[in-house]
Amino acid sequence: MMRFRRVVPRGLPVIGLTFALFVWPEVALAGKKECVRAFDDGQRAQSDHALRKARDAFLACASAECPAVLRADCGKALDEVRAAIPTVVLSANDGEGRDVVARVTIDGVPVTDALDGIAKEIEPGPHKIRFEPAPPFVVVELDVVVKEGEKNRRIAATLAPPKKVEPKVGEARDVPEAPPPTRSALGYAVPAGLGAIGVTGLVVAVASKVALDGRVDDLRATCAPTCSQDERADASGMLVRTNVALVVGLSALGLAVASWVLFSPSSTRSQRPLAVLTW
């Protein structure tokens, strides 16, 4: 029977010995330094009451890669920090017990877009919690002080819609401004027509007066004071026509002004805000 013998390369023991003597101690030393640094960072963060940062540091030095003695100290510190980290349960309602969906920020940092009833970790100390609901609800900000070791503290915000302030008895309130009214076509046509008649009447009256003055001058120059009845009647007729044209012109212009006011938009006065007293 043939026997096989495992052949080990001659250089392999030398390589392993070199790694054990030189490389491995350096790696172990570097890992130990990282563990010690994490422990120091955790202690500083714990002293500054940055408990979540301290927890992360103690988690790093409590890992299996760190020396056993250091792991024990880190594990003990980790338990202390975990017990000291406060938690809050956020909620919002409409004032009648119904839940309201709201976005929440703590000290300006977004925490959640929808309240889910799950406890949230928070650093101890004063905080400004802002609830931002959808309309018609209004934003609410709460100033709270959270204590170390406080667990599942319930923080509820009442997000009531804005209340309408009713005027008090005898207090003036503004009536909303009405849209500006517009003048109808009739409101333009009637005043324009009467105005045209009035202007025409005045023109006729002026022309008739000029003609009458000329006729009177002719009569005075030719036959006065012995003018015939027909000549005097003709002058009198011109005077009547002048007076009639004058009266018609002035009356038409007066009616044009009156119709302009009459056909003006009826709600013109409502364009100005009115102060109404409530009793």
**Of the candidates 48, 83, 118, which is a domain's last residue?**
83
In a domain, 143, yes or no: yes
Sheet (strand 87-93) strand order: 120-121, 87-93, 153-158
**Of the candidates 56, 83, 110, which is a domain's last residue?**
83
Q: Which domain holds residue 257?
A: 185-263
Vertex 18 angle, CA 16 and 21, to 5° = 110
pLDDT score at 3: 53
pLDDT score at 19: 42
CA dist 97 and 111 (Å) reads: 23
Instruction: List the structure tokens of 83.
Output: 């017990």
pLDDT in tens, 161-202: 766 666 666 555 666 676 777 777 777 888 788 888 978 988
Report how many domains make up the chain.
3
In a domain, 198, yes or no: yes
**Pair 91, 156: CB distance under 8 Å:** yes
Neighbours of 43 (CB within 10 A): 16
In a domain, 93, yes or no: yes
Co-location of 138 and 193 in the same domain: no
pLDDT in tens, 44-77: 999 999 999 999 999 999 999 899 999 999 999 9
Distance of CA 172 to the CA centre of its chain: 28
Between 52 and 275, name the one with better pLDDT: 52
Measuring CA to CA, which residue among 222, 247, 248 is closest to residue 235?
Answer: 222
Specify the pairing of strand 102-106 against strand 109-112: antiparallel
